[in-house]
A and B are shown apart, each in its own frame.
Chain A
Amino acid sequence: MAKNEEDKLINDVTNKEYEHGFVTDIESDTFPKGLDENVIRGISAKKEEPEWMLEWRLDAFKVWQTMEEPDWAHVKYKKPNFQDISYYSAPKQKPELESLDEVDPELLDTFKRLGISLDEQKRMSGVAVAVDVVMDSVSVKTTFQDTLAKKGIIFMSISDAIKEHPEMVKKYLGTVVPVKDNFYSALNSAVFTDGSFCYIPKGVNCPMELSTYFRINEEGTGQFERTLLIADEGARVSYLEGCTAPQRDENQLHAAVVELIAMDEADIKYSTVQNWYPGDKNGLGGVFNFVTKRAVAEKNAKISWTQVETGSAVTWKYPSTILKGDGAVGEFYSIAVTNNYQQADTGTKMIHLGNNTKSTIISKGISAGHSENSYRGLVSISPNAKNARNFSQCDSLLMGNTCGAHTFPYIEARNPTSHIEHEATTSKISEDQIFYCNQRGIDTEKAVALIVNGFGKEVLNKLPMEFAVEAQKLLEISLEGSVG
C-alpha cells in the first residue's frame, strides 16, 4: 500500500481520535503501552481489517471493560496492569546472527538435548541459514501448500483469513467462545493480533499434521493469539500447536482463544506442547498463560484434546468440549508439570447435550519443588442427554514435600440414564523406586524421567509420534534438579 493511501486510511479510521489527541504513531512498529478504543482502531487499521471486524473488536472491548479479572482459580499472582502492555507489535525481525556461536549456550544445550537438528536450531535462534537450507524449507512449504490447496484446505493466519475469507470468519468467530465468556476471552477478542485459521472441507481427510510451523507468513507466536479451526462434515484433521523448544518471551501475559468446530461426523485432534518460560528457580519472571480453548462437536463428531504443559509461571487453561450432537465424543488427555514456583490450574469441561455422547478425561499432574498443580474439571450432563457416559481419571504425582497437588472435579448429572465414573490417585516417587533404578545403573535424574514418563504414558501415547519423543525429553528437562 502506498504511503499516502495508508495515511488516508489511518486518517479515516482514527479521525475522531485525532480530536481527542490520538498519539499512537502508526508508523512505529510497536504501539505505546495502554489500552483504549484508539488502540483497537489502530490494531484494526494495521491489520487492514474490514469495518465489521473493527466493530466486533470494539464491542468486545466494551464488554471487557464491564468485567472483572476472575480469581477462583487456585493460583496466586500479581494481577497484570492492562495499561502497562503494548497491544501491537509488528512481526518481529529476529536479529540475524552470523553463526550458532553467538547464540545463548544454555539455549543451544537445551536444543541439543531435545534432539533438534542443527538447521532447525539455527532457524529457531535466528541465525542466517545457508541459501540451500532456505530454499529447502521454502520448497517444503510450497509442496505443503500445494497438497493442501488440492484438497481445498484453507490454512493461513487469522489476519489473512479475515481479509480473504471474511464470510467464514464472520460466521464462526466467537460462536464457540463467546466474547463475554470470560475476562480474558473478551480481552483477546478486542485485541488479538496473531493466530491461525483452518478450514477442512466436507469429507476431506487432511493428509498431514497441521502445525503453525508450516503456515505461510509465519509471524511467531503472539501475546493474544486467536485460532479458529473448522472441520466440515466428515472431515478429519490433526493439528499441532506449540513447540518443545524453550519459548522465551518478554511478554508476561498470554491470553489465547482457540475455537474448534467439528460438524457432523468430523474428527479433530488438537495437540499442544506448551513450554513458555516458567520463571527462574525462585519464581521470578515467567509467563502468565490464560487460555480459553473450546470445541463444539456435532452429531457423531469427535474432538480430542491432548496437551503437555510444562511451561509458564501461571497457567489457567481448560480445553473444553460441548458435545452438542447425538453420539458426539470428547476426549481430554493432559500432562501438566510444575516445578520450582510454577502454578497450574488446568483441566477440562465436558458438556453433554446430545444423546449417547461420550467423554473421556485422563489428567496427569506432576508437581515438584514449591509448585502448585490443580486439576479442575466439569462433567455436565444436560437433562436431555440420554445415555451419556463419562470416564475421568486424575492422577497426581508428587515429588518432595513442598509442592501441592489438588483435584477439583465437578459433576452435574441431570439425566438419570447417564453413567459417570471418576477415579483419582495421588502417588509419590518412592525411595525404593529410585534405588531400584540406581541399582540397575540408572542415575537419579534419569530414573525420575523414566518414572515420570511411565506415569504420563497414557497421555504421551496420544501425541503424534514426532511430538511424543520430544515431549518425553521435555518432561525430563522440566524436572531437572527436582530430586536431591
Chain B
Amino acid sequence: MLKLKNIKASVEDKDILKGLNLEIKPGEIHAIMGPNGAGKSTLSSVIAGKEKFSVDAGEIEFEGEVINDLAPEERAHKGIFMSFQHPIEIPGVTTTNFVKAAVNAKRVAEGKEELTPGEMLRLIKEKSALLELDRKFLSRSLNEGFSGGEKKRNEIFQMAMLEPKLAILDETDSGLDIDALRIVANGVNMLRSPERSAIVITHYQRLLDYIVPDFVHVLYDGRIVKTGGKELALELEEKGYDWIKEEIDNK
C-alpha cells in the first residue's frame, strides 16, 4: 500500500527526515513511537503532502504510484487521511459543513455524484453515533473552542466519514479520557479490513492495547531505527529511549 524509500525531508533548511524507509502492506497497522522532535509529525505531513516540507530525496509510493508530486487534496482523494496532532480551527464553518465539503470533494474526484442532503445527513448521523458525538457539537465552528479530547474525537469522526485506505493517526490518543480512548479506538477498529491500513503515532503503549498493531517502529533522529512487534511498545514504555539511543550511538 505505502512504500517510503530513503525519504529525506527538510523544513526551512533544517534536515528532519534523514533517509527513512517504511513499507506498509494492505490490512496492516504500524505503530510509530519515538522521542519528541524525532520527526513523527513531519513524516505524517510528508506523506500527506504538506508543501512546507520539502522532500529532498526518496520516493513516496502509494498503491504502486509515486505520489511525490501530487497535491495534498489529490493524495486525500486517493484515500490518504491524516488525523492531526493539533487540529486546526476554522471559525464560522460548522463541522457538518466541513465534512460535507470533504466527502463531496472526494466523491467528485472519484467521478461520483455528490451526496444528496438526505444521504449526507444519514451518513453523518450514523458516523456520529458510532463515535458518540453530541449532535450540538456538529453545528459548532470546526475545532473552535473544542477541548483537546473533543478535537481528537472530531478527527476520528471525519475519518469515519471519509473511510480512507490509509489512516495516519498522529497522537490521536493524547488528551483523551479513558472512555474517549475506547470510543476512538473502536472507531479505528471498525474501519479495519484486509484492504485498509493505518499508521498510529503514539507515546503510550496503552492505545496499542485497543488498536493492536502488527509492527512497532521507533523513529529517532529522522530514521526508523528499530522495528518489532507489539511487545516492543511495552519494552519502550518500561525502559524509555535511552537504550535505543545508546545502541545507535555505539554503531
Q: Which A residues lie at the B interface, using CB under 8 A?
A: 430-433, 435-444, 446, 450-451, 453-458
Contacts and interface: CB of A to CB of B under 8 A. Distances in A.
Nearest to A460: B92
B50 A450 contact: no
Given A451-B93, A454-B90, A441 B76 contact: yes
Interface of B: 48-52, 71-73, 76-77, 81-82, 84, 87-93, 97-99, 101-102, 105-106, 109, 141, 158, 162
A442 B73 contact: yes
Contacts of B73: 438-439, 441-444
A89 B228 CA distance: 84
Contacts of B76: 438-441
A182 B141 CA distance: 42
7 contacts: A431-B52, A435-B50, A439-B81, A441-B73, A441-B77, A441-B109, A446-B105
A440 B102 contact: yes
Given A432-B88, A433-B90, A451-B90, A440 B109 contact: no
Contact of A433 (B88, B109, B158, B162): B88
Given A433-B90, A450-B98, A455-B92, A440 B162 contact: yes
A453 B93 CA distance: 8
A433 B106 CA distance: 18
B72 A439 contact: yes
Given A431-B52, A438-B72, A440-B98, A454 B105 contact: no
Contacts of B158: 440
Given A438-B72, A441-B77, A451-B90, 8 more contacts: A431-B52, A436-B88, A438-B76, A439-B49, A444-B73, A450-B97, A455-B91, A457-B92
A441 B84 contact: no
Nearest to A458: B92
Given A431-B52, A435-B72, A454-B141, A441 B105 contact: yes
Nearest to B141: A454
A457 to B, nearest CB: 4
Contacts of B98: 437, 440, 450
Contact of B105 (A443, A453, A458): A443
- Minimum-distance CB pairs A-B, first 10: A454-B92, A454-B93, A438-B72, A441-B76, A440-B102, A457-B92, A436-B88, A441-B105, A441-B106, A438-B73
A430 B72 CA distance: 16
A450 B105 contact: no
B221 to A, nearest CB: 25
Contacts of A458: 92
Nearest to A425: B91
Contacts of B52: 431, 435
Contacts of B51: 435
A90 to B, nearest CB: 46
A451 B71 CA distance: 19
Nearest to B76: A441
Nearest to A364: B92
Contacts of A456: 92
A25 to B, nearest CB: 55
Contacts of A450: 90, 93, 97-98, 101
Nearest to B103: A441
A435 B73 CA distance: 9
A438 B71 contact: yes
B48 A439 contact: yes
A442 B105 contact: yes
Contacts of A437: 90, 98, 101-102
B92 A453 contact: yes
A1 B117 CA distance: 56
Contacts of B97: 450
Given A431-B52, A435-B50, A450-B97, A442 B102 contact: yes
A37 to B, nearest CB: 53
Contacts of A453: 92-93
Contacts of B92: 453-458
B91 A454 contact: yes
Contact of A436 (B77, B90, B91): B90
Contacts of A438: 49, 71-73, 76
A454 B158 CA distance: 19
Nearest to B97: A450
A439 B105 contact: no
A464 B90 CA distance: 24
Given A433-B90, A450-B90, A441 B141 contact: no
A183 B78 CA distance: 60
B108 to A, nearest CB: 9
A438 B141 CA distance: 18
B154 to A, nearest CB: 12
Contacts of B77: 441
A373 B89 CA distance: 25
A435 B141 CA distance: 18
B141 A439 contact: no
A313 to B, nearest CB: 28
Contacts of B84: 436, 439
A437 B82 CA distance: 11
A187 B71 CA distance: 54
